[in-house]
Amino acid sequence: IYAADGTVLVQHGGIELGQGINTKMAQIAAQELRIPMNLIRVGDTWTGAAPNSEPTAASSGSDLFGSAVKLACQTLRGRLAQYCEDSNTPAWSAQNAASWRTVVAKASGARVDLQAEATYKTPYIGSVGGSQPYGRAFLYFTYSAACSEVEIDVLTGETTLLRTDILFDNGQSLNPCLDIGQIEGGFLQGVGMMLTEQMMYTADGALYSDGTWDYKPPGTKSVPLVFNVRLHQLERYHPDTGQPLDYASVNGSKGIGEPPLVLAATVFFAVKHAIVAARRDRGSTQWPEITTPATVGRVQQAICPTNDTLRL
């Protein structure tokens, strides 16, 4: 905390990749210190401030770094609250930034330490494995459901994603706007894996789909024409003990980055059912074999194989 103006510098070990982790860290700091968010600045991540940080991966960024930021801010808040009590200084409030600056300035003059650090380890990590094959491996689970509707061109095999509806449980969302964006992005990444991103190799094993001429990542046309995403934020408690049934991480949130990707499987199976319908119209009741990604060529071939004896 800077005594001159009451601003706060937060530095954490996460890497901002566009997922909004810096925004979430600023929110957590502002909430814990009970000050306006415009007083928070998130500094660049560097090893001078966080020399032993964990990778920003596996949807763990907010859990790890947010919890550490929260612990550090609680330490600072505790020091300042104790100073206010000992010196009979009126406590600050989130609605009055001037009161925060006054407390910080006076505390600095009294040589209260205005710096704090903290580390956080996810519970149960490493509890299962090796000689311990049973037990609790995760702090919480993320739940979701999705439904997709597609339309295929029976002549070309082209797929149009008409609609997708997603209901996602990520606990108490730290930032619903960011989290819905993460869900949409993760789902679209999965759509690419399910429909277009085919790896192709030469006879001697060399990869030749190494550019967008042969390798097709999802684009704007991959987005569902109707795309509905809703967060399911519901606290569940044990009817007898009153304890939460789903333990979550920082401020009741859950990881959001990678789980939405698997929901794109609904698109693949929708394509497969569309192929079944197209084949049924041509007199076949057999279940077609098709692997991911369901590319234009594979869909067209599944509808009308080269050895097809169906009615034309």
Q: What is the 3-state secondary structure (H, E, C) of 216-239?
A: CCCCHHHCCCEEEEEECCCCCECC
Q: How far is residue 40's CA from residue 229's CA, in Å, rounded to a whole number?
A: 30
pLDDT digits (tens, 9 = 90+) for 98-134: 999 999 999 999 999 999 999 998 888 878 888 888 8
Residue 79: C-alpha distances to residues 2, 4, 9, 74, 84 (Å):
15, 18, 17, 9, 9
**Span 238-265, average pLDDT:** 83
pLDDT for 193 equals 96
Indicate whether this model's pTM tops 0.95. no
pLDDT digits (tens, 9 = 90+) for 276-307: 999 998 888 888 889 999 999 999 999 886 55
Tokens matching residue 119: 């580390």
Catalytic pick among 16, 54, 258, 289: 258
Active site residue 235: no
* Nearest in space to 159 (alpha carbons), one of 169, 167, 148: 148
Looking at residue 163, the DSSP 8-state letter turns out to be E
Q: Is the confidence at residue 184, as pLDDT, over 90? A: yes
pLDDT for 35 equals 95
- Mean pLDDT over all residues of the chain? 90
Q: How far is residue 185's CA from residue 148's CA, in Å, rounded to a whole number?
A: 16
Reported confidence tier of residue 310, pLDDT bands at 50, 70, 90: very low
pLDDT for 288 equals 85
Tokens matching residue 6: 């009451």
- 212: number of Cβ within 10 Å: 9
Contacts of residue 73, Cβ cutoff 8 Å, sequence gap at least 6 = 28, 29, 32, 33, 116
To which residue do tokens 């901002």 refer? Answer: 16
Q: What share of the chain is helix, strand, coil (3-state, %, to 5)?
A: 35, 15, 50
**Span 248-255, average pLDDT:** 86
* Nearest in space to 147 (alpha carbons), one of 32, 302, 265, 59: 265
Q: How far is residue 3's CA from residue 7's CA, in Å, rounded to a whole number?
A: 8
To which residue do tokens 């995403």 refer? Answer: 229
pLDDT digits (tens, 9 = 90+) for 189-230: 999 999 999 999 999 999 999 988 889 999 999 999 999 999
- 16: number of Cβ within 10 Å: 16
The residue length of the chain stands at 312
Q: How far is residue 147's CA from residue 211's CA, in Å, rounded to a whole number?
A: 31
